[in-house]
Chain A
Amino acid sequence: MRRAAVIGVGQTKFRTRRDDKTHPELTREAVSRALEHAGITMDDVDAFVFGTMDPFDGINCPDRWSSTAAGFGKPFMKISTGGTTGLTTGIAAYQHVASGLFDVVVAVCTQRVGENVDAQPVLNTAVDPIYERHSGVGAISVAAIQATVHMQKYGTTEEQMAWVSVKDHENALKNPYAHIKKKIGVEDVLSSPVVSSPLKLYECCPRSDGSVAVIFASEEKAEQIRDDPAWILAESSISDSYFVGDRPDLAVWDSLSIAGRRLYRLAGIDDPKKDIDVAELYSPFTIQEILELEALGFAEKGEGAKLAEEGVTFVDGDMPTNPSGGVLCTNPIGATGLVRLGEASLQVMGEASNQVDGAEVALAHAWGGTLQFHALMLVSSHKKLRR
């Protein structure tokens, strides 16, 4: 397998609306910053991979317009897989390089959720129009039904879930690109209005506009370009069945466990708690970080809720999660997964805005569909896992 690494990361500031720029202009902002971070120019780029979730921006296939800022005249491919889009775009760009067809490839994701007056009806159109769409189910409700089961089965409390939000909000204060920047406490979360029971407003992500670009390079190029690239150790993804009613047990995210097993096997990880230093997880709702920690082996089943409460997942804890502030504070849906990879890469480069001390191995995750998809990537400051 041809080795590849992340050599540059660029993000725009994420806001509810970015009225100052058009779609391609936002794309350009992220691409330019990533090129600058890598210290290369557009001429050095062999191909682009673009990710977005189509209907959110009010433009169908906005990649066609946005490609004017992402190197037209070059090979350009568009990926869209739901919430996992950002990370599958990264995976596709990595595969462009790993295949040997290209040496330097830019993955870029732009999403303007804020241009959409209300994102939930769009998410509802992802639900089957024949059997399920009438139910009005969107992303919040599918997370809420996970929470209901987890609370009843394992006794997870509202306070424990609130701690996840407190931690992410504290982290976001250090991230110049984060959308929501507000110091909050457990009481603030608990007293915020219930959106979809048992989830409250401060347990739910915002809708964000913005763009992110991550540059991948072959081993040879990566070493020429920078001293500290973020080496890709492994990637994996998974699709579950279509109907949400088919999930065997909503209290566990077993499809993520399966994808995680594959990832760990590829990277040679025996004990994720020991081998992974930091994780950027796709948790737009508090309960999901808890489920993800359990599914990925950072906590025993039913124990995930204790981690934030006990400080384990805070930036100075044993297993920091979402030092960027995570998806709870910034969610440009189809770009979010690539933000996770970008932040994970910056952690192992030692350049993150909320740096975890000595981070060498970082995990990036995204989920999508109605709890149907997962994507994972693992990056490291070393070419191979070092224990």
Chain B
Amino acid sequence: MKVGIVGIGITHFGVHEEPFYNVAYTAARKALEDAEMERHEIDNVVLGGYDVSVGRTISNMYTAPAAGGYLKDEIRVSDDAAYALALAYMRIKSGIFDVAMVLGYGHCSETPIELVELLSLDPFFHRDLGISYQMSYAMQSYAYKMKYGVEDETAAEVVVRARKRASKYEYAHVREEVSVDDVLSSEMVIFPLRKLELPPWSDGCVALILAEETIARRINPEPIWVEGLGWNTENYYMGSRDLAELSSTRKAGEMAYRMAGCDAKSVEAVEIMDLTPYHHLMALEALGFAADGKGGELIESDFPTNSSGGALCTNAHGTTGLFLTANLALQIRDGCDRGISHAVSGYAAQNSIVTILGV
């Protein structure tokens, strides 16, 4: 039995004046309209997003009814909502449920996320050092850059291409095009990352409707199938890891490829959660698209990565990964046969999840 995506609803990503209760409702409504379904046809909701980042303990109290969960089975993953899609897949695959509303929410404009993330560090060994979330990604970037001698220009080129793609993607947050010079002359914020090499903090919601194979075909003659899923976790203690590689991404990718019965060669589209340009390259390598340290070579080619502009242009903490998966689903609808999306969470990309979609 397969599980397919039959409805896609994406809100505008940027700064929302409306509370995310309303933004979540908008995304879920759009997904239902896209699938030409009504709320009562859903038998469960699977949410993904954080609490402290949005200023509400048990934030799923807010988003469950907004996602259509009134008197329905409900569960929430407190991580990137890409995990919610994996859980929804398992809930349907097990035969327990038929149709799931997967909803991811991020709402970064109401609080300093850097401070919230700092509080995710243990209060003994790490928090007092004031290592910000982005600093951990910068340390990783630097380790990778030094190990393989990646040029500043290569990183800048990743940003230039991301912005160019985002400028054409209606849901992206930051859509102004920039040049390599713009990137390199922007201020150094967290060495080695310059201002234009850091992602924005965005607000927005994504809703995807997943259905069991037979039902999926009733709803849509051409569902987008979930072919592979994989997720993994690295050591929390950054000092115990090789920061120059994304090992949780590598393991997650291996699991997803194994489940889908394919490898990187058969993948036509890639959506990567690149919180820095260096992570863009590291993830491409971890997912098997380039040899270690050779990710930069792909940037020069026409390799189809991040048609959404990626996390560098849209980053709603809690649903950035699902935002990328939703864009991948749109690409498959437009004729692409198979694609892969990727998400990370935690300091220095501790956790990774990979989703393979296909026709």
- Is A in direct contact with B (CB under 8 Å) within the complex? yes
Contact at B57–A55, with CB atoms within 8 Å? yes
Residue from the set A77, A88, A92 with the largest chain B CB neighbour count within 10 Å: A77
Number of A interface residues at 8 Å Cβ cutoff, please give it.
Answer: 61
* Complex-state Cα separation, A117 to B74, whole angstroms: 31
Quick one: which of B1-45 are within 8 Å of A by CB?
A: 19, 21, 45
**Are B76 and A79 within 8 A (Cβ)?**
yes
B163 within 8 A of A: no
Q: Is the CB of B123 within 8 A of A58?
A: yes
Which of A207-215, A267-275, A369-377 interfaces with chain B?
Answer: A369-377
A100 touches B94 (CB 8 A): yes
Q: With a CB–CB cut-off of 8 A, which chain A residues contact B122?
A: 22-23, 59, 65
Indicate which residue in A67, A68, A129 contacts B55 across the interface (CB closer than 8 Å): A129
Please, how many angstroms separate the alpha-carbon atoms of A100 and B93 in the complex?
Answer: 8
Query: What count of chain B residues pass the 8 Å CB interface test?
Result: 60
Q: How far is the CA of A123 from the CA of B50 in the complex (A)?
A: 16
Contact with A along B225-263 (1 / 0, CB 8 A): 000011111111100000000000001000100010000
Identify which of A22, A23, A60, A258 contacts B71 (C-beta below 8 A).
Answer: A258
Which of B59-67, B149-157, B171-179, B319-327 contacts its partner? B59-67
Among B72-113, those with CB < 8 Å from A are: 72-79, 83, 86-87, 89-91, 93-96
A125 touches B55 (CB 8 A): yes
Check if A98 sits within 8 Å of B94, measured CB to CB.
Answer: yes
Q: Is B69 an interface residue (CB 8 A)?
A: yes
**Is residue A11 contacting chain B, with contact meaning CB distance below 8 A?**
no
Q: Mark A87-120, 1 if CB is under 8 A from B, else 0.
A: 0100110011011110000000000000000000
Known: A60-B119, A77-B83, A95-B94. A125 touches B70 (CB 8 A): no
What 0/1 readout, one digit per residue, does chain A (27-71) give for beta carbons within 8 Å of chain B?
A: 000000000000000000000000001110011111111011001
Contact with A along B164-197 (1 / 0, CB 8 A): 0000000000000000000000000000000000
Q: Which interface residue of A62, A82, A255 has the most chain B CB atoms within 10 A?
A: A82
Contact B232 A74 (CB under 8 A): yes
Which chain B residue lies CB-closest to A61?
B120
Q: Chain B residues near A65 (CB, 8 Å)? A: 121-122, 236
| Complex CA distance for A100 and B231, rounded to whole angstroms | 16
The answer to whether the Cβ of A72 comes within 8 Å of any Cβ in the partner chain is yes
Select from chain B the residue with minimum beta-carbon distance to A68.
B236
Which of B64, B75, B90 lies in contact with A96, CB distance below 8 A? B90
* B350 contacts chain A at the CB level, 8 A cutoff: yes
Q: Are A236 and B73 in contact (CB under 8 A)?
A: yes
Residue of A54, A100, A237 near B57 (CB, 8 A) is A54
Instruction: For the complex, give the distance between the alpha carbons of A76 and B346 in Å.
Output: 13
B238 smallest CB distance to A (angstroms): 11
Residues in chain B near residue A2, CB distance under 8 A: 94-95
**A64 adjacent to B350 (CB under 8 Å):** yes
Is B131 part of the contact surface with A, judged by Cβ < 8 Å? no
Least Cβ distance of B317 to chain A in Å?
Answer: 11
A228 at interface by CB-CB < 8 Å:
no
Instruction: Select which of B19, B86, B91, B235 is within 8 A of A72 by beta carbon.
Output: B235
Chain A: minimal CB distance from B58 (Å) = 4
Residues on A with C-beta less than 8 A from B234 are 72-73
B233 touches A72 (CB 8 A): yes
Looking at the assembled complex, report how far the CB atom of A127 sits from the nearest CB atom of chain B, in whole angstroms.
9
Q: Which of B71, B237, B346 contacts A240 (CB 8 A)?
A: B71
**What chain B residues lie within 8 Å of A53 (beta carbons)?**
57-58
Chain B, range 116-133, C-beta contacts under 8 Å to A: 116-117, 119-124
Chain A positions 230-274 with a Cβ under 8 Å from a chain B Cβ: 235-242, 255, 258, 262
In the complex the two chains form, what is the Cα distance from A25 to B46 in whole Å? 30
* Chain B neighbourhood of A130, CB < 8 A: 19
Is the C-beta of A185 less than 8 angstroms from some C-beta in chain B? Answer: no
Query: Is the CB of A149 closer than 8 A to any CB of chain B?
Result: no
Q: Judging by beta carbons under 8 Å apart, are B346 and A61 in contact?
A: yes
Which of these, A71, A78, A129, contacts B77 with CB under 8 Å? A78
Secondary structure call for the B interface: mixed
Within 8 Å by CB of B51, from A80, A88, A255, lies: A80
Residues of A within 8 A of B233 (CB): 67, 71-76
- Contact among A54, A58, A64 for B236, CB-based, below 8 A: A64
Q: How far is the CB of A267 from chain B (nearest CB, A)?
A: 13
Least distance between B97 CB and chain A CB atoms (Å) = 9
- A52 to chain B: closest residue by CB: B78
| B144 interface hit (Cβ, 8 Å) | no
With A65-B122, A74-B232, A77-B86 already in contact, the answer to whether A123 and B74 are too (CB < 8 A) is: no
Known: A22-B124, A98-B96, A258-B71. A79 touches B60 (CB 8 A): no
B233 to chain A, nearest CB (A): 4
The reply to whether the CB of B137 lies closer than 8 angstroms to some CB of chain A is: no
Does A64 lie within 8 Å of B346, measured CB to CB?
A: yes
With a cutoff of 8 Å between Cβ atoms, the chain B residues found around residue A72 in the complex are: 233-236
**Does A342 sit within 8 A of B, measured CB to CB?**
no
Of B19, B90, B123, B350, the most chain A CB neighbours within 10 A belong to B90
Partner of B56, one of A81, A98, A126: A126
Nearest Cβ in chain B — how far from A288, in angstroms? 17
Whether A78 contacts B78 by the Cβ 8 Å rule is yes
Which residue in chain B gives the minimum CB-CB distance to A77? Answer: B83
Interface contact B94-A126, CB-CB below 8 Å: no
Q: How far is the CA of A146 from the CA of B170 in the complex (A)?
A: 48
Q: In this assembly, does B135 line the interface, its C-beta being within 8 Å of a C-beta of chain A?
A: no
Which of B52, B58, B231 interacts with A81 by CB under 8 Å? B58
8 interchain pairs (CB within 8 A)? A61-B78, A77-B86, A77-B231, A95-B87, A95-B94, A129-B55, A239-B72, A370-B61
| Chain B contacts to A: CB under 8 angstroms | 19, 21, 45, 50-52, 55-58, 60-62, 64-65, 69-79, 83, 86-87, 89-91, 93-96, 116-117, 119-124, 229-237, 251, 255, 259, 346-347, 350-351
Interface residues, chain A, with chain B CB atoms under 8 Å away = 1-2, 22-23, 53-55, 58-65, 67-68, 71-82, 88, 91-92, 95-96, 98-101, 122-123, 125-126, 128-130, 235-242, 255, 258, 262, 368-370, 372-373
Further 9 A-B residue pairs, CB within 8 A, beyond A53-B58, A68-B237, A239-B72: A60-B51, A95-B90, A99-B90, A99-B91, A101-B93, A126-B57, A129-B56, A240-B65, A262-B73
